[in-house]
Structure 1
């Protein structure tokens, strides 16, 4: 499976770029899945719903299924967060997996950067950042794209992964 990341600091435009890339790349006929890393506790379930009640009762995993989709929720119960490689192994095969976050993992990445956040670039100290998508011009030792030039960023990623 081909993997490419979108990384950057908070409010850098990662999620918007991910959304546009998924639309652009699937529009070209490729299958895409995504993995999003969250640094905080999150819940995709709603209190009062049957699946939430199952989890609250102590179920380790709850699989929720319908005629349109299914979702598996797995409680870590104090275990370490699984590495990205273990999570990727759970995905069905696709042409490309886009990964949001996981800035220190070894897969290649595009860094999303917005100058207004005041955060430093990750790229200079992180060789896995192969390009930067920025809202301001930058001079770097790797490609720099306009943050809104989704087509060019998608072209770059697809070339990088051989699609």
Structure 2
């Protein structure tokens, strides 16, 4: 599977960009999956539901299965957080996996940057950033993409990973 990352500060527009690129990539007949990393606690389950109760009772994994989807929840308990490679190994085969987060991973990335948000650029600290998507022209030595042109950004990604 080809893997490509989208990096940037919270609120920079990473999720919106990915959401707008997915239909463009799918329209080419490609299968796409996504891994999103978060530093914040999260739960996809609801208190009181059977699956929540099973996890609370100590189950390591709970798999929900239905006619339209299935979901596997795995409690880390005292285990270390899985790496990106660990997570990729769990996915079904697709043409492209987009990764939001995992800034330090060794995969090519686009940095999403909005100068108005007041954050510094990340690419100086993460050598795998190969382009910047921004809503403002920047004075940097990397290719720049218009953050408001998801089709062009998707094309850049597909060309980079050899799926164009």
> Same fold judged by TM-score > 0.5?
yes
Q: What stretches of structure 1 of length at least 5 have no aligned partner?
A: none
Ranges of 4+ aligned residues in structure 1 off by more than 6 Å:
none
**What is the Cα deviation at residue 125 of structure 1?**
3.0
Distance 1:126 1:101 in 2: 12
Distance 1:66 1:125 in 2: 43
TM-score by length of 1: 0.97
1:79-122 CA-to-partner distances (Å, cap 9, x unmatched) read 11011001100000000000000111110001111112100011
Q: What stretches of structure 2 of length at least 5 have no aligned partner?
A: none
Secondary structure of the structure 2 residue equivalent to 1:46: coil
Secondary structure of the structure 2 residue equivalent to 1:94: coil
Matching of residues 19-34 of structure 1 within 5 Å = 19-34=19-34
Q: Calculate the aligned-residue CA RMSD, in Å.
A: 0.8
Partner of 2:17: 17
Matching of residues 44-55 of structure 1 within 5 Å = 44-55=44-55
**What is the Cα deviation at residue 151 of structure 1?**
1.0
Distance 1:27 1:86 in 2: 29
Partner of 1:138: 138
